[in-house]
Amino acid sequence: MVSKNKERRIHEFLKLLSENQGIIYKICNVYADSREDRDDLKQEVILQLWKSYPGFNGKSKFSTWMYRIAFNTAITNIRKSKKHPIVQALSGAELHVSEKEDIDYLNDDINRLYKAIAKLKDVERAIIMLYLEEKSYKEIGQITGVSEKNVSVKLVRLKEKLKKLMSKQSSHV
């Protein structure tokens, strides 16, 4: 009986994960700089989702829950980096500024967009990504914990910042 329940849970989990797998890949593309880091982060996110799955009570949408867990994993785990972690910590807020590799199957413009997003702070990336995913301010607030009003204020600034970064990226090409 126990193993049948567990099998059912695994099957349910796989089904939900498969329906929302784009979330994992997009978050990994935004937060990881190399193929190796993306693979590591993907594994870490899936592991964390599985560990937290017993706590998913269906009160929120699965995708909302998944975003929360995936962003938390991406933002709060220190990932492998070329820089020594102590040097990283001392260099200030932007702990993950390293040269982002192009993603093979995406074109130059999209890679430039990812590189521009990579120049934002960790939490700013989450907010702008959710906005680009057409989430409402309310949903962005539910996922990040920021109030709707603060979300709208932050987004005004972030959109301008991202436009400037994209212009800089274009002028370097």
Interface contacts to other proteins, rule CB under 8 A: 13-14, 17-18, 21-22, 24-26, 29, 40, 42-44, 46-48, 50-52, 54-56, 60, 65, 68-69, 71-73, 75-80, 85-86, 88-89, 93, 95, 105-107, 109-110, 113, 121-124, 126, 132-133, 142-146, 150, 159, 162-163, 166-167, 170
Phi first, then psi: give them for residue 99, nearest 5 degrees.
-65, 120
Number of residues in the chain = 173
**What does the CA dihedral 93, 95, 97, 99 come to, rounded to 10 degrees?**
180
Q: Of 99 and 107, which CB lies nearer to other proteins in the complex structure?
A: 107
Alpha helices in the chain, H assignment, sequence order: 2-19, 21-31, 35-52, 62-76, 85-90, 108-118, 122-132, 137-144, 148-172
Residue 34 or 95 with smaller CB distance to other proteins: 95
Least spacing, CB of residue 20 vs other proteins, in Å: 10
Residue pair 33/99 in contact (Cβ under 8 Å)? The answer is yes
In the complex, minimum distance from the CB of residue 141 to other proteins, in angstroms, rounded to a whole number: 8
Q: Least separation, in Å, of the C-beta of 94 and other proteins?
A: 9
Q: Residue 93 CB: number of other CB atoms within 10 A?
A: 8
CB of 29 to other proteins, least distance (A): 7
- The smaller minimum CB distance to other proteins, of residues 1 and 125, is found at 125
